[in-house]
Structure 1
Amino acid sequence: MPIAGARFNPTKILVPTDFSISSLAALAAATDLALLFHAEVLLLHVMPVLPIVSGDDLPTPFPERQEFLRVAEEEAQETLTQWVSDLSGRGIEASLKVTVSNDVVDKVISTIEQQGINMLVLSTHGMSGWRPMVFGSIAEKLIKLAGCPVLLLRSAATPA
């Protein structure tokens, strides 16, 4: 028996992506949900600002790092633009956002709040053993912090 007043009708779905196979599975699930509920889809790619190391193991000068980020952002924009075009071709209103930050969780949560997202679709990367304990799980943190329903797709486990 349904609970009085309880409804599930997402209208704006956020799909964070790192362009991995598992994030493509999340995009496929979000596409199906968007078609079913006539929802918009927002694709989000958060680029980490990691130090780029030169041949002598010293951080590269600032201009080289800026060029690397510019190229990476351009490539992400191109890929997401194609995905938005594919979604639009299926009748789904879609948009994209590319941002730079080492705090992926914070960027996803702030996007949820700023964009009025009411469903988050993402995947795990199948990490097992000690790696999630050492590196933490972005998916686990998002499940705890997201202020909207979360669909978490488990991807195939990677070898330890």
Structure 2
Amino acid sequence: MKKILVPTDFSVQAENALKVAAQLAKKHKCEIYLLHILEIPMRQVDPMSSYTSLPEAVYFMKLAHKQFEELRANSYLKNIKIHEHVEFQEIFKGVFHVCKKHDIDLVIMGSNGADGLREMLVGSNTEKVVRTSETPVMVIKNEHKTFKTKNFVFASDFKEESLGAFKKAMTFAEIFGSKIHLLMVNTPIDFMTTAEAEDRIQNFIKPFKLSNVSIHIYSDMTVERGIMNFCKSIDADLIGMSTHGRQGISHFFNGSISEDLANHAKRPVITFKI
């Protein structure tokens, strides 16, 4: 891992993500790419001119540069190589463009979701990036003065289509020095016996030489509650899961999330596109 992209609107939530990126950058000697999106209405653009010729664009470009300078002055970014980018398009398109152009290894984004894991990742700019990004995306909800990755839970149904996402998750677990906990949540709606679940997981991981890995089958009323309750039981530092592109992460969840689970969604989540 050498390059981390942090989209920013200069909010507290975006800075929480940047602080995590800074800790990882220092530990793994990475460069940070800061991305700010300026959404200029297309109707204001002369077809014969560029975005940067618009008075509004010039003003907001200068403002963004000033805000970048203020960010870079923070002590937590000292001795980190920082790149600045401004894009005139929707955030998920801007993220895709910068990731492709600069071969980004990880996107780290802030979120102010307050109603559990579903709201943290669905129905927002963060969800759009999670849904479309070919690059792994880590979602940070709160400030982490010390970002830990000791216990990394990879939640999956362990079907063949998730193999690619699992390979990426294992790569990051190795980079982070994490113990990875493979988690399958068993629910009344989609029930299988423990023996069947263990057999599926063992067949899934058979091609890999794994170390520092544990296997867990956890029963709960819904998948999301199972993930949250299991992560609480082991004090997980990071939750990993796969996404299905246009279906987004919401395909993974059914039912509502109660208020008590919302507090446990504060854990960072990293997603890998199938």
Query: Could you tell me the TM-score, scaled by structure 2's length?
Result: 0.43
8 Å CA contact 2:104–2:135 kept in 1: the answer is yes
Q: What is the letter of the counterpart of residue 123 of structure 1?
A: G
Pairwise CA distance, 1:88: 9.5
In the alignment, which of 131, 135, 139 is matched to residue 144 of structure 1? Answer: 131
| Contact persistence 1:87–1:93 (CA under 8 A) | no
Q: Which residue pairs with 1:6 in the alignment?
A: none
Distance 1:61 1:147, change over 3 A: closer
Tell me the equivalent position of 2:84: 96
Shift of 1:73: 1.0
* Residue-by-residue CA offset, 1:80-103 (whole Å, 9 max, x unaligned): 1343455796211111011212x1
Question: Does structure 2 conserve the Cα–Cα contact (< 8 Å) formed by 1:87 and 1:94?
Answer: no
Alignment of structure 1 residues 21-60 onto 2, 5 Å: 21-50=12-41
Q: How does 1:1-160 map to 2 (within 5 A)?
A: 10-50=1-41, 66-84=54-72, 86=74, 90-101=78-89, 103-126=90-113, 136-155=123-142
User: In the alignment, is the contact (CA less than 8 A) between 1:14 and 1:42 conserved in 2?
Assistant: yes
Q: Where does residue 5 of structure 1 map in the other structure? A: none
Greater radius of gyration (CA): 2
Task: Give the share of equivalent positions with the same residue, in percent.
Answer: 23
Do the aligned residues in 1 keep the contact of 2:21 with 2:32 (CA within 8 Å)?
yes
Partners of 2:38 and 2:112 lie apart in 1 by 17
Q: Displacement, 1:109?
A: 1.0
CA-atom RMSD, angstroms?
3.1
Paired with 1:126 and 1:46, the residues of 2 have a C-alpha distance of 20
| Alignment length (residue pairs) | 133
Q: Which has the higher contact order (CA 8 A, sep 6+)?
A: 1
Residue 89 and residue 143 in structure 1: after superposition, are their counterparts in 2 closer, same or farther (change >3 A)?
closer
Structure 1 residue matching 2:131: 3-state secondary structure: helix
Alignment check: 8 A CA contact 1:81 1:96 kept: no
Unaligned runs of 5+ in 2: 47-52, 144-261, 263-274
8 Å CA contact 2:16–2:141 kept in 1: the answer is: no
2:2 and 2:59 map into 1 onto residues whose CA distance is: 33
Q: 1:61 to 1:36 in 2, by over 3 A?
A: closer
Classify the secondary structure of the residue corresponding to 2:67: helix
* Distance verdict in 2 for CA 1:60–1:89, change over 3 Å: closer
Shift of residue 139, structure 1, vs aligned partner? 1.2
Whether the 8 Å CA contact 2:22–2:77 is kept in 1: the answer is: no
If the length of structure 1 is used for normalisation, what is the TM-score?
0.70
Contact in 1 for aligned 2:4/2:106 (Cα 8 Å): yes
